[in-house]
Structure 1
Amino acid sequence: MIGEKRINLKAAIHLLKHIGYCKKFKNFHCYSSFHSLLPKRIEEMIVKEEEKKEEKNERLLVDLCECYVMTYQCIIPDRLIVICLPCLLNAASNKMENEETRNEVEMVLFSLSLIETTMRVNTDIYLNEIIEIIEYHKEHRNLTRLGYQSAWKFLVLRLQREGEFEDVILNEFHFVKEATRELDELRECVNWKRKGGKEKEARRSEAKEVNVIMEWLRMVMAYFRERLFLDEEHIELIRCIVTLCRAAREYEKEIVGVSFFVFKTVAKIKPVCVVCLTKSGAANVVLEEIQQATLEHDMAHYHLRFFLKLSKTLKWKMVDEMEEAKRKAIKMEMFEKMEEEGYEDCIESFHKIFDFLDRKYYDGLSLNISDYFVNA
């Protein structure tokens, strides 16, 4: 259509960016796009523009790279990464503080956060640039919330994929502290009690904030997969997610579901880290959920999986005597808490539907009810 001039290039770029955004946040999928001629056509345009000796259109190149990344639904070829990555990073470094620039930079950073490649990318190509973008925002607040989240997502996931996920980098730039602050602020931006009718339009206007919350939670979950220990700052982050769960409980069940996956990820780390789930209130909020009369089967499954994982973690024997003593103390604390809150009664009440849950969900539940008890 572009070649035949049925649609001008500017309109086509706008349309493709919109499709890319919808793909990510509105469950709009176009599985056949990478089998079509569209990515090939955009790729040819990128290479042609990049090879120009004179009068290179940098804005057009950025737009084409964004469209390519958001349209191409599989791993981007190496030959395009070496063009797109520096181009997008350069555009994301634009520090002009006006609404138009903020929106443009948001889309560039969003595109960067979607990049998938098997190519090992040297950190020299992107690390200084993306860290400068994050640090500048901390001081000047020049990015949108989605833009800032996308910058962090690009950094965290890129380092994981390159096998250079170093504590010193994330600790130096305070990822946990920033995630906690952003989630707190985003929670306060949303009126969680909005319903339909006259408030429907206002609810739609808050959808972007809800999407950004979901992205932060997914990134936090990826971060916790790399942890070997947790400290007080991590407990504050989990406590922040607990508060978010309670706020979103009635109107945004998906947020609650992803939050519980975060808790389950923490429960896998090591027995002495389970204390974070008690001190932060995470175990409490899962107990509150599991006792609701209107609990759906899929949510019951997720909650039970959380406690099953927690119980199994607490049963791990520690070689170090001090760590083993901590494990036993935490295990007893968890047992007393579960007993006090009526946890065993909850498990008993769900026992009759275990077989159904086990057949319906691929990561089945244990039919041995004692597996769910931390004193077993």
Structure 2
Amino acid sequence: MSKEMSITEKFTALFDGIEECYEEEQMQKIEEMNEMVNEMNKEEFGSIFKRELYEKIDDMIEEKKLSVENVILLLKHVGYCKMLKYFYEFVNDYSSLNDRFQEMIIEEEEKKEEKNERLLVDLCECFTLLNFHILSDELTPICVPCLLKVALKKEENEETQKEVEMALLCLSCIDDGTKIEQKLYLNEITEIIKYHQEHQNLTRLAYRSAWMFLTIGFFSDESLEELITNELHFAREARREIEELKRNVDWKRKKVGKETEVKEVLFIKRWISVIWEFLYSNTLWNEECEGLIDCIVKLFLASRDNHKDILNGCLGLLRNASEKRNMEIDAFVKKGVIDLFLEQMKQSTLDDEIMWKCLYFFFNISWRLKEKKDDEKEKEERKELKRKIFERFEEEGYDDFITCFHGVISFRKNIYRELSGNISDYFVNV
């Protein structure tokens, strides 16, 4: 009895025979391959889509054995699935196909007559989806306006929604190291977000992608702070999206075998990455930010049994928030963040990244509570806050934990090298 072929073997067999087909038959085979891509898990996906495959595709284009249109049909879908399934490790840097796409984008943009706008959009989408890295200074002023033009479409039909979703997803792939001038994007992306808040015209993925693109700009442009925090209400919107997603997840259900994660969990992971960008750059604090902290705590509590990636993501967000001077420490007490980290310390091991995040969090809290206040009222409020935290530390045996870990951790190795080696830096003195 012959063994059934695996999905990767089926995909490879189809691809290997594609250059012998006519263009229409090639298109049919690519549509079959795209269906297989939908079913692949991370390991299967990574075993297929390697640099060697892209070099082969580039050779087939050069030898006219595969049309650019059919390459786009395959690679746009591959890139979409990569992002949809959160396969961020997969990249296409430094392949000859990568160079070909860059040249084609520039060549199409420079045409004075008969410019193929659809081809230009397709090329920009393929390039950004498959690379997920910094755009060059030459490509940025081409790709960003091109994709935003598509994203601004407001027709209420499924086809337009898909086009808009794809364009915004591609924009969200641009690395935060890319320098993008405000005139290339700010008015357009602000309009897109505001229009959705009024009319709910974007898909869930498109809305998250719009925010990711804007916060990428925020990473290197502090002037966006007021717009993002108080005008577009990022913290409020992120909290609402996560709470809606969280309601549709069975948090007690364990993942079995090859089963892929449900889309709501993947969307939550995406929002965690957007919130990270926001917390890293934002220096404003309002009640909506406090509500976001509360949302993160509740997400952590929901995810801790069966979703370690989300649990780690939540701890990372809270640890990051503890570094920000604008984030009020009193909010960490009221929302249970202090208790959450104390509880995690009891369950962590020396080799656990969670332990590092816990130590980093308490180092930040201790450091910030040592800041001097000139105003008498602020001094009294700070003294009372220190007393509350100190009492919680005493109840939970925090001193023993810190002393124990400090005695055996090498602060010069691995992730711990970023932490202070001075034990007094982890204590709060009343």
- Could you state the TM-score of these two structures normalised by the residue count of structure 1? 0.87
Task: Please state how far the C-alpha of 1:186 moved relative to its aligned partner.
Answer: 1.6
Determine which structure has more spread, i.e. the larger CA radius of gyration. 2
Question: Which residue in the other structure is 1:225 paired with?
Answer: 280
Equivalents in 1 of 2:336, 2:253: separation in Å? 26
Q: Which residue of 2 aligns with 1:29?
A: 90
Match of 2:415 in 1: 361
Residue in 2 aligned with 1:45?
A: 104
Give the counterpart letter for 2:244 in structure 1.
E
Taking a change above 3 Å as real, the CA distance of residues 158 and 197 of structure 1, as seen in their structure-2 partners, is: closer
1:179 has 2:238 as partner:
yes
In the TM superposition, what whole-angstrom CA distance separates every residue of 1:234-270 from its partner, at most 9, and x where no partner exists? Answer: 1111000000001111222121222222212222223
Within 2, Cα distance between the matches of 1:11 and 1:188?
A: 40
Which letter maps to 1:219? V
Residue aligning to 1:149:
208
Q: Distance in 2 between matches of 1:176 and 1:160?
A: 16
Q: Deviations over 1:48-96 (max 9, x none)?
A: 3223444433222111011122344543222222211111001111223
Matched-pair contact (CA < 8 Å) for 1:113–1:153: yes
Q: Is the deviation greater in 17-26 or in 213-222?
A: 17-26
User: Which residue number corresponds to residue 344 of structure 1?
Assistant: 399
Which residue identity lines up with residue 127 of structure 1 in the other structure? L
Q: 1:131-170, CA deviations, whole angstroms, 9 ceiling, x for partnerless residues?
A: 1211222233222222111101111221442442231453
Name the residue aligned to 1:370.
424
**What does the per-residue CA deviation read over 1:281-312, in whole Å, with 9 as the maximum and x for residues that have no partner?**
11222222222378962222221221122111
8 A contact 2:225–2:283 mirrored in 1: no
User: For 2:390 and 2:98, how far apart are their aligned partners in 1?
Assistant: 56
**Cα 1:353–1:240 shift into 2, 3 Å:** same
Are positions 1:92 and 2:147 aligned together? no
Q: Is the 8 A contact 1:257 1:299 kept in 2?
A: yes
- 1:264 is aligned to 319
Contact 1:266 1:274 in 2 (8 A): no
CA contact (8 A) 2:196 2:202 kept: yes
Opposite residue 340 of structure 2, the aligned amino acid is V
Q: One-letter code of the match for 2:95?
A: S
For residues 306 and 64 of structure 2, the distance between their equivalents in structure 1, rounded to whole angstroms, comes to: 45
Number of residue equivalences? 369
1:11 aligned partner: 70
Contact 2:350–2:409 under 8 Å retained in 1? no
Q: Contact 2:228 / 2:234 at 8 angstroms: preserved in 1?
A: no
C-alpha separation in 2, matches of 1:271 and 1:327: 15
Match of 1:324 in 2: 379
Aligned to 1:253: 308
- Cα distance in 2 for residues equivalent to 1:63 and 1:217: 28
Match of residue 365 from structure 2: 310
Residues 225 and 282, structure 2, Cα contact 8 Å, conserved in 1: no
Match of 1:214 in 2: 269
- d(CA) in 1 for partners of 2:321, 2:221: 23
- Determine which of 193, 196, 215 is the counterpart of 1:134: 193
Confirm or deny: 8 A CA contact 2:285 2:326 kept in the other structure: no
Of the structure 1 ranges 290-299 and 33-42, higher mean CA displacement relative to structure 2 is found in: 290-299
Alpha carbons of structure 1 residues 218 and 328: separation in structure 2 relative to 1, 3 Å: farther
Q: Which runs of 5+ in 1 are unaligned?
A: none
| Counterpart position of 1:60 | 119
Distance 1:103 1:271, change over 3 A: closer
TM superposition shift of 1:219? 2.3
Q: Does 1:108 align with 2:167?
A: yes
Aligned partners of 1:66, 1:241: CA distance in 2, in Å?
32
Distance 1:305-1:120 versus aligned 2 partners, 3 A rule? closer
Structure 2 CA distance for aligned equivalents of residues 27 and 85 of structure 1: 21
Aligned-pair CA distance for 1:118: 6.9
**Conserved 8 A contact 2:322-2:365:** yes
The structure-2 alpha-carbon separation of the partners of 1:92 and 1:362, relative to structure 1 and needing over 3 Å to count, comes to same
Deviation at 1:368, TM superposition (A): 4.2
**Equivalents in 1 of 2:147, 2:61: separation in Å?**
23
Secondary structure, counterpart of 1:234 in structure 2: helix
Tell me how far apart the structure 2 counterparts of residues 366 and 160 of structure 1 sit (CA, whole Å).
Answer: 26
In the TM superposition, residue 272 of structure 1 has moved relative to its aligned partner by 7.5
CA-atom RMSD in angstroms: 2.8
Identity of aligned residues (%): 44
Q: TM-score, normalised by structure 2?
A: 0.77
Q: Which residue of 2 aligns with 1:291?
A: 346
1:94 and 1:297 mapped to 2: Cα distance?
47
- Quick one: distance in 1 between partners of 2:178 and 2:403? 50
Give the Cα separation in 2 of the matches to 1:119 and 1:275.
36
Deviates more, 1:312-321 or 1:82-91: 312-321
